Structure 1
Amino acid sequence: MKVLVLPLSSLFFLCLLPSHSAEWERKKCTQCDKHLFCDCSDQNLVQVPSIPENVQGLNLSHNQIEVLKEDDLQEYAQLKTLYLQNNRIRTIHNRTFASLANLESLDLSYNFLASLSWPWFDQLLSLKRLNLLGNLYTSLGSGFLFRQLSRLRSLRLGNRSFRSMGRSDLVGLRGLDEMVLHGSGLQSYEDGSLGSVGPIGTVTLSLYGPFHSYPALASKILRDVSNPETLLILTDVTLADERSTQPIVELKQKAVRRVIFRNVSVTDSGIVNVMRIMDRSEVSFLGVEDSQLVGHGFWTNASATHPDKMETLYIKNVAIRDFYAFSSLAFLQNVLQFPKSVSIINSNVFLMPCPTSKLLKKLEYLDFSGNLLTDLATKESFCNGEGTLQHLRSLNLSRNSLSSLALMSTLFTNLNQLTSLDLSENDFSDMPAQCAWPSSLQYLNLSTTKLRRITPCVPPSLHILDLNDNDLTEFNLNLPNLIELRISGNKFKKLPPGIFLPSLEVLLVQRNMLSMFGKSDLMDYKKLQELEAGHNKFVCSCGFVAFFQLEVGQLVRLRDGPESYQCDSPTALRGQQVGDTHLSAFECHMVVAVSVLCTLVFLFFFISGVLCYKLHAIWYLKMTWAWLKAKRKRSVNRDDIRYDAFVSYSERDSEWVEEFLVQELENAQPPFRLCLHKRDFLPGGWIADNIMNAMEKSRRTLFVLSRHFVGSEWCRYELEFSHFRLFDENNDTAVLILLEPIAKETIPKRFCKLRKFMNSRTYLEWPEDETQRPMFWHNLKMAIKADEC
């Protein structure tokens, strides 16, 4: 038994390892935004990733998740939105969603769920939107699946395998705003199954199988969902004969007012049958979308019908095979006289004959956008401008092949109630100088029509003018009634003059070539309240940045938000938001900054000059320069000493020097060699060179100090150069002789070395008493002969 302990424990460990490994390998989703929504779609995830616990929205669609375990979502109690569509989910634990009491939207569509379980939804008390489309379940289970979802407003269910529906399937649901039922494979339907929910705002039914094979079943479904307040959308059906159209009778009997046929295929016979069924019905809105008409419009058998409640006919993306052979529908006078709104969009319409136009006697709204109308065809459709459609208020001819704006104005000038005209995405290029528009026109859309200039062709009665995405560079029209101007996507370098637009409240001028705008530009608009001027090439100058950050919000509201306003130049600021830009004082106040800087520099030099004067710095610099120049010029060998002493004295003391000093020293035994400027200086030489050479060739420098010496300019030079020699060579070559008492303070303060020398050394004083003079001469001779250099 002991032998088996280790292998069994190891085996147990290995059995646990995969589950732990899965936990350890649980990936993190980092695609989370500031709104607490994480988009982890299309990342080949095989399980729910790790996300922040406070996340409120999670998109896990288009991954490879097959199983939802009990604790996959346990930590995310704050989730409000969860998208799991287009995975491979086959299994969901009964308590996977138990912690999601705040969940409002759950999408499990297009997975591999073969059955649905009521415990999944039992704790989702806040759920408002649930999508279960496109799975593999054949029924909704044993019933009461949605018993706790009293707040549910949108439910989408069904798939190609969905076979049966019972009365208890939708128990608990009330007042749905939307329901989508994919029941193309339904074979069994219990009366009242959908009727138990009560009136539903919009019901979309995909019932190809029932319409084709089980018309009675389709009738029961339509009977349950039809209601005067319900928008009923029938998709994926074929209306070919009387049998396939028979379930539509329920719409008339239940007084349905709004019906849309989507992705249907219908023949001439099917159209006739539907028109007969709907004769004198309550249907006021009839739409056909993404469908195909197989026929030529020969519906004469339905010409006697009277859909007198029909107000809106909406046709979009309808392909009419052999449309060029299509009937003019002139025989439908009883039918066409009722609609007030007709939309035929993206359906390859190239002509509406004038006789057909004359039948639309009550028409107020006409939308022919996205078709093949040309100038000639439009001329025919509007009966050469006779004003046939007298009640027309709104006309949309966008995305056709129109090229003459002058012709358009001529065709519509007699439409006296026309207030809105959309001619966008045509190819007008040029605008005529003058046009004749109805005086009632208030909205004109000429966006994306390749216009290069604007002329007075634009009617002055307009309240809204759309000129987006053209090649315009200026706008100088006087439009006193204009409230909103849209000129985004052009080549404007400045805002239009506000003086011509006194009533303007909204201006859209994005994606142009604006470099900046200022307070004066906006103040020209007396009533401007909202502005969209982002995505331009803004030059972030100091004035524009300051205006944008401090004033623009007080003048207008930026509808496109501050993030749309970014610097294009200077290069260093490109891509930065104008509102976050900070410029230095030198960039924004150059003159003031330079003035302040110059003032500071001047004060600096002025104070430095004063300090230099007080501290004798100028003198030090001057003497340093003179010393360096003298040293650079001389080439004397410092070992070649010619004199024992150089005598520096005032000319007014020359008598004492010549009679006493020279006689005593030069006649001594051995004699002293003295250098006197009067006899030994080189005639014509620079005084600084002579002084420097004399000092350099002398062992000592004798200063004969007196009041005359202090006042002598030459003596001051000699003192200065002696000072620098002392400083340069760091020795004591100076010998001071005082002819008369003189205070140390009379020596200039800048001769700091000499003043220090006088303070630290004994100097010789010329005695008045003749008995003391021998001692004076003895001491002087000893000072000259001293070995220290």
Structure 2
Amino acid sequence: QLCSLFQNRMNLTYIALNSNYFSHLPQCMFEGLYSLMVLHAHSNLLRVIQKDLFKDLHNLQSVDLSNNAIVFIHPSNIEMIGKLDSQYKPNTQLTIKHNSFECNCEMKGVRDWITSMLNKKRRRLKFTSDKCTSPAIRAWRNDYVHNFTTTWLECNAMIVIKVSTISGGSILFVTLLTLLLLKTFWRDIKYKRMVHKARKHEDYALVHANNIEHDAFVSYHVEKLLWVEQDLCNQLENGPDIKFKLIYDDRIIPGGSLFTSLGIAIHNSRKIIFVVSRAWVKDAMNQFEVDMALAKLLDDYRDMIIVLLMEHIPKDEMPDKVKMIIKHNNCLRWSNNEKKQAKFWRDLKLELGKHHLELKEPVQEDDINEEA
């Protein structure tokens, strides 16, 4: 209904809407009023002068919005005031006193327009300003609508938050991705590092602890002898990277009792590999080797047992000692899948490679003199 008040009044030059208790002016209120020069809307209850409300008022010269409750005027409206700046037009006038302006970043456009008009050499703006009512700091300082100041951070807080959020999210994403990649390829990285270290043979040497002659003693059932000789030994002793030294019953030089020879071989090995199969579990001889391994484990206090599960064996078919060893030691599962076999050999070499190499100590001159 308000829009119909001035419909088809293209020649209207003056409108007085004061003292009518208007709280809002619809967007269509001044459409087509191209000749309007004076607009009085003081003494109402207006709170916001929205964007492009005055977009058709090309001849507007005087606006009175005083004595309302206005908190915000969109800059597009006051830019229409005095737009037709001619020497034949009267001075431009803007009255906005007695309102409730929020002097924030959204009001910067209004502030800048008023300031630019007041600074013109030919001063054509008659302006009655109003104090800021918020934020509290500006009200306390008695800042005015036309001269309040803002900080860069205040007006760009959302940009800072967005940039920080995006940056933080990106850093978090990269961190999570890095952790995921490290988790996925960590053992590959460790293996490459171990191989690289081993290839620097001029700077590194095998670790020879007291009485240690072999990297591992292999306990197996005779049915797995072919696998031990053709697969296990070929991968560990004749591989292209690190060459380990294995000992098992067929390589033990006869001398004394078999049990004594086995005990010495186990004692002189850094690790013990159990090639676990159903037949191995049932073999009494292997139970002796398990007991010897547990005794060595108690003496050395370190992880020295590696379990290779060659097939699925239900727990109820395993002796308690074997179940305990599988539960508390490094356990690798053999697979017929080639990709899984590659990981199997990599992980087995990593376990055997622990403490396998050490940096050579530099030869001291005092040592040379003593030898001489």
TM-score, normalised on structure 1? 0.23
Structure having the higher helix fraction is 2
Which structure is higher in RCO with an 8 Å CA cutoff and minimum separation 6? 2
Between structure 1 and structure 2, the one with the greater Rg is 1
